[in-house]
């Protein structure tokens, strides 16, 4: 899969992950039977969210470096 598509999927997940957790929290709260099972979903989604954040930050740093290189070469 292309690096750009992986980064776009990561950006989408940075938005969808917290929304999914809110929905799961509401379901857990509405059907509460003494066990907060959402903690396990939050752990998994949290790990995936951090990995997605790192992927997006890597792309931002790469694009920033390329933009700086282009600006530097244009001045010469």
Burial 44-70 (b: 16+ CB within 10 A, else e): ebeeebeebeebbeebeeeeeeeeeee
The mean pLDDT value of the chain amounts to 94
Q: What is the pLDDT of residue 17?
A: 97
pLDDT class of 2 with cuts at 50, 70, 90: confident
Q: Single out the residue of 17, 1, 11 nearest to residue 63, CA to CA.
A: 11
Query: pLDDT tens-digit profile of 51-65?
Result: 999 999 999 999 999
Query: pLDDT tens-digit profile of 7-36?
Result: 999 999 999 999 999 999 999 999 999 999
Please check whether residue 20 is in contact with residue 45, taking contact to mean a CB–CB distance below 8 angstroms: yes
1 has a pLDDT exceeding 70? no
pTM: 0.82
């Amino acid at each position: 899969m292309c690096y750009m598509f992986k980064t776009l999927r990561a950006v989408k997940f940075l938005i969808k992950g917290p929304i999914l957790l809110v929905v799961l929290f509401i379901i857990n709260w509405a059907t509460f039977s003494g066990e907060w099972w959402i903690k396990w979903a939050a752990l998994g989604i949290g790990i995936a969210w951090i990995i997605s954040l790192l992927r997006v930050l890597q792309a931002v740093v790469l694009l920033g470096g390329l933009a700086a290189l282009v600006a530097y070469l244009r001045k010469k």
